[in-house]
Amino acid sequence: MSDEIRHECAVALLRLRGSAAEQAEKCGCVDFGGTKLSLLLEKQHNRGQDGAGAVTLALSPEAGKPAYNELKSASERPLADLLSLLAKRRRMNETVFLGHLRYATYGKGDVGFCHPFVHKAARLERMLFLAGNFNLTNTRELFDAYVDAGEFPESTADGYLICEWLASYMLREEKEREDGGEQRRGEILVAALKKLLPRLDGAYTLCGMTGDGWSFAVRDGHGIRPGYFHVDDEVAVVASERSAIQAAFNLMPEEVRELVPGEAMVIAPDGEIDFVKILDPAERRECVFERIYFSRANDSDIHRERKALGAALAKPLLDAVGCDLENTFFSYIPNSAQVAFHGLLEALWTEGLAEGHPVRFGQIAVKDAKFRTFIADAAARREFYQHVYDVTYGLVRPGTDTLVVLDDSIVRGNTMKNAILPMLDRLGPRRIIVASSAPPICYPDCYGIDMSTLGELIAFKALVNLEKRTETDRGEWLKADIRTLYARHSQEELSEEIARLITPSGMRARVDVIFQTVDAMHSCCPNSTGDWYFTGDYPTAGGERVLKAALKNYLENRNERSY
């Protein structure tokens, strides 16, 4: 993706089903649990750049000593710091491990906002640790309700509030039961989840554990955020990505299963596992952007879907260049569009679309991962920004070729306009076609991506320009459902205006943009119907409120979060 966007976090829960000593002797690794947790987090590193945290818990700890290890970092290299802390911790006999990688969608990156959140108590069964991959639309309501209940919250963070609400419900359930035996503890946890989760509007995969060894994992009822698990005689493990579990435990895809939305995986202190329905069944709305961009493409299903997304663009691109393959060069914007690019090439070669003509392709743009600049002068900084990508010369014929570059999506268009297109123009192509494997992103997100304002979206800017030409007045905008405004214009009209907006001044090559259609996207990713970024079809009531608030903020010139 050319634009940097902050997106959902990663979570990992690991429970050893035997003792740490038994596991260490069996595998020859002194710190089996800590090592596996480190692997689970490292293999999800793309999901967290602002903070990292972990809690490790031993069952039946010795009184007078800490019951758990809490390790967190919000430094410039938080995961590296966390893994170092895990390796250096003194105690290596823990049985339950909870880890998290954070992308700060609220822009608050200090260590106090890092997961896992901890509810402290003098009794082990009342201690609670919680981490998750989530974003809520009704955090303010949860905060106000917590205050109205007579509690004193120390933070407004959504993770903190979920943790404290759950601890509060568990305490209430405990007081209603005369027998507080071990089996009852599991019933208390489940009952508390059944009271809390219906109050949460948003998307989540939550993992938690209590000080006496109960642990759980649960997804929202629509399954918006991903969650996977594996269970065998030695471990029970949960993570945000299937490929992370496969890599850490050397498993085949079929050995890692998807958490059922709305159903909690509950692990007892003795290692027994139960699956309990917490929420009533809801329409499945797995996030399709997860498949297009976020999750790693070494997951076999995601790899296949991304190749299909690239293949679906083959015919539209051939039509756009008039089937003139002799004078067309194909490339992509690294690195996340690479798999879709392979699908595009395969479609050109194997489906007869190229009609026997050779397909010219190569890597034109190479991102300089080590490029950093702290230039104060604005003009100099713009010049440096254009060199974030290196360019391969000698592949595109100046003045003759059309250069097609595939990106996985175009969100704001800033990097495309200020860095990529000026760089590509130096090669001297006659025309540049930017192809997006995703449809245009027209609506704000409130379920994981830090993209809650309309004014930052290039598709919305294009809509505003198109509507200005029809002389839509401000009063009509205030009353309108923004989806009806988009419906007035074809995707081709929107694409043409986006192309105009992202074309930098002084550009010699003509710039065109081709987007994936929504129908083609769903054909490529048939099991992920969460498409609100592209259609405005939000799965929860909170999403509708966010959309209205985002439009109101835009019309009032307020560039602030809409939830």
The DSSP code sequence of 293-355 is IIS-TTSHHHHHHHHHHHHTTHHHHHHHTTT-GGGEEEEE-TTTTHHHHHHHHHHHHHSSTTT
Q: Kindly tell me the sign of the dihedral angle through the C-alpha atoms of 521, 239, 107, 552.
A: positive
pLDDT band at 18 (very low <50, low <70, confident <90, very high): confident
- Amino acid 474: pLDDT: 62
Phi and psi at residue 338, to the nearest 5°: -65, -45
- The secondary element (H helix, E strand) that includes residue 341 is helix 338-350
Token readout for 378 is: 């604005």
- Amino acid 374: pLDDT: 47
Whether residue 405 contacts residue 364, with contact meaning beta carbons closer than 8 Å, is answered with yes
Question: Is the per-residue pLDDT at 434 higher than 90?
Answer: yes
Question: Is the per-residue pLDDT at 370 higher than 60?
Answer: no
Q: Which residue from 513, 511, 419 is spatially nearest to 458, judged by alpha carbons? A: 513
Ranges assigned E (strand) in 79-227: 96-102, 117-119, 128-136, 202-210, 215-219
Question: Is the per-residue pLDDT at 375 higher than 50?
Answer: no
For the chain, helix (H) and strand (E) counts, in that order, are: 21, 20
Angle at 448 between CA 446 and CA 258, to 5 degrees: 125
Whether residue 207 contacts residue 13, with contact meaning beta carbons closer than 8 Å, is answered with yes
| Residue range 148-205, pLDDT digits in tens | 999 899 888 889 999 999 999 999 999 887 665 666 889 999 999 999 999 999 999 9
Task: Report the C-alpha gap between 36 and 11 in whole angstroms.
Answer: 13
443 compared with 480, residue with greater pLDDT: 443
Question: Is the per-residue pLDDT at 262 higher than 60?
Answer: yes
- Amino acid 303: pLDDT: 95
- Cβ neighbour number for residue 140 with a 10 Å cutoff: 13
Lowest mean pLDDT among 16-20, 250-254, 543-547, 552-556: 16-20
Name residue 196's beta-bridge partners: none
Whether residue 97 contacts residue 34, with contact meaning beta carbons closer than 8 Å, is answered with yes
SS3 68: strand
- Amino acid 478: pLDDT: 62
Q: What is the mean pLDDT of residues 5-19?
A: 83
Lowest mean pLDDT among 327-331, 398-402, 432-436, 476-480: 476-480
- Cis check for the bond before 422: say yes or no (omega within 30 of 0): no
| Residue range 99-111, pLDDT digits in tens | 999 876 555 567 8
Question: Is the per-residue pLDDT at 365 higher than 70?
Answer: yes
Phi and psi at residue 226, to the nearest 5°: -80, 155
Token readout for 137 is: 């639309």
Task: Report the C-alpha gap between 314 and 514 in whole angstroms.
Answer: 11
C-alpha to C-alpha distances, 46 to 42, 161, 548, nearest whole angstrom: 9, 26, 31
Lowest mean pLDDT among 107-111, 359-363, 413-417: 107-111
| Residue range 502-561, pLDDT digits in tens | 999 999 999 999 999 999 999 999 999 999 999 999 999 999 999 999 988 888 887 766
Task: Give pTM, 2 decimals.
Answer: 0.91
Instruction: Please give the mean pLDDT across all residues of the chain.
Output: 89
Going along the chain from its start, the domains and CATH numbers come out as 10-284 (3.60.20.10), 291-444+462-467+490-535 (3.40.50.2020)
| Residue range 47-101, pLDDT digits in tens | 777 899 999 999 888 888 888 999 999 988 999 999 999 998 877 688 999 999 9
For 473-495, give the DSSP string: -HHHHHHS-HHHHHHTS-HHHHH
Q: What is the mean pLDDT of residues 403-418?
A: 93
Q: How do strand 10-16 and strand 365-367 relate by DSSP bridges?
A: unpaired
Q: Which residue from 299, 138, 124, 293 is spatially nearest to 204, judged by alpha carbons? A: 138
Question: Is the per-residue pLDDT at 336 higher than 90?
Answer: no
Whether residue 120 contacts residue 131, with contact meaning beta carbons closer than 8 Å, is answered with no
- Amino acid 207: pLDDT: 98
Q: How do strand 402-407 and strand 328-332 relate by DSSP bridges?
A: parallel
| Residue range 280-319, pLDDT digits in tens | 999 999 999 989 888 888 899 999 999 999 999 999 999 9
113 compared with 466, residue with greater pLDDT: 466
Task: Report the C-alpha gap between 206 and 204 in whole angstroms.
Answer: 6
